[in-house]
Amino acid sequence: MGARRARAAETELALKEAAGRLFVERGYLNTKISDITAAAGRATGSFYDHFASKEALLTALLADLRGAASAEMRRPEHPRDHDLTDRGQLHDHLAVAWRVMRENLPVVIAVHEASLTGEHAPDHAWRSLVTETDVLRDHLEYLRDRGHELPGDPTLIAAAMGGLLSTLALALLRSPTPAYSDAEVLDTLTNLLLTGLRGVPSDPPANA
Please check whether residues 39 and 77 belong to one and the same domain. Answer: no
Per-residue pLDDT of the chain (208 residues; tens, 9 = 90+): 577 788 888 999 999 999 999 999 999 999 999 999 999 999 999 999 999 999 999 989 988 887 777 676 655 567 888 999 999 999 999 999 999 899 999 999 998 888 877 666 667 788 888 988 988 999 999 999 999 999 999 999 999 999 999 999 999 998 889 999 999 999 999 999 999 998 855 555 455 4
Specify if 155 maps to a domain: yes
User: Which residues form the domain of 9?
Assistant: 1-51
Domain of 38: which CATH number?
Answer: 1.10.10.60
**pTM given for the model:** 0.81
CATH code of the domain in which 85 resides: 1.10.357.10
23 vs 82: CA distance, rounded Å: 35
User: Do residue 5 and residue 30 come from a single domain?
Assistant: yes
Same domain, 105 and 21: no
pLDDT at 10 (0 to 100): 92
Domain assignment present for residue 154? The answer is yes
Q: What is the pLDDT of residue 117?
A: 75
Q: What is the DSSP string of the chain?
A: --HHHHHHHHHHHHHHHHHHHHHHHT-STT--HHHHHHHHT--GGGGGGT-SSHHHHHHHHHHHHHHHHHHHHS-TT--TT--TTSHHHHHHHHHHHHHHHHHTHHHHHHHHHHHTTT-S-TTHHHHHHHHHTHHHHHHHHHHHHTT---SS-HHHHHHHHHHHHHHHHHHHTTSSS-SS-HHHHHHHHHHHHHHHHH-PPPPPPTT-
Q: 153 and 179 share a domain?
A: yes
For residue 208, the model assigns a pLDDT of 44
pLDDT at residue number 206: 52
Shared domain for 88 and 121, answered yes or no, is yes
Q: What's residue 75's pLDDT? A: 58
pLDDT of residue 203: 52
